[in-house]
Structure 1
Amino acid sequence: MQQHCKGNTATLQRQYSNAAKAIQQRCKGNTATLQRQYSNAAKAMQRHCKGNAV
């Protein structure tokens, strides 16, 4: 289960990194919104992982 969660988190981080780079190239003002979305997704993933680990 830990491998499953770690794998999903790594994928999420890669997707965020790629999206962040694209946004920065287009408009720096959108970065804050993207970071909020990533933060929310990361929190959801952490809750999902904790729930499965118990």
Structure 2
Amino acid sequence: MEGQALFSRGVGAWLRPLLRFYPVLVRAGLRSIIQRVLMPSAYLEAARGLDHSAG
């Protein structure tokens, strides 16, 4: 529950509305920009690997 409270107060205030638009942004070709902004560089390559294996 503690993580849920943190999400609803801090990050959730701006992240929750953005999640509604994520599919639109991906279709617009902005997936890599979103990943670079939101994801630590250490995990970025692994996430790109998941994208390629799913498609």
Q: Shorter-chain TM-score category?
A: 0.3 to 0.5
| TM-score (normalised: structure 1) | 0.38
Task: Report 1 or 2 for greater relative contact order, CA contacts < 8 Å, sequence distance ≥ 6.
Answer: 1
Query: Of Structure 1 and Structure 2, which has the larger fraction of its residues in helix?
Result: 1
| TM-score (normalised: structure 2) | 0.37
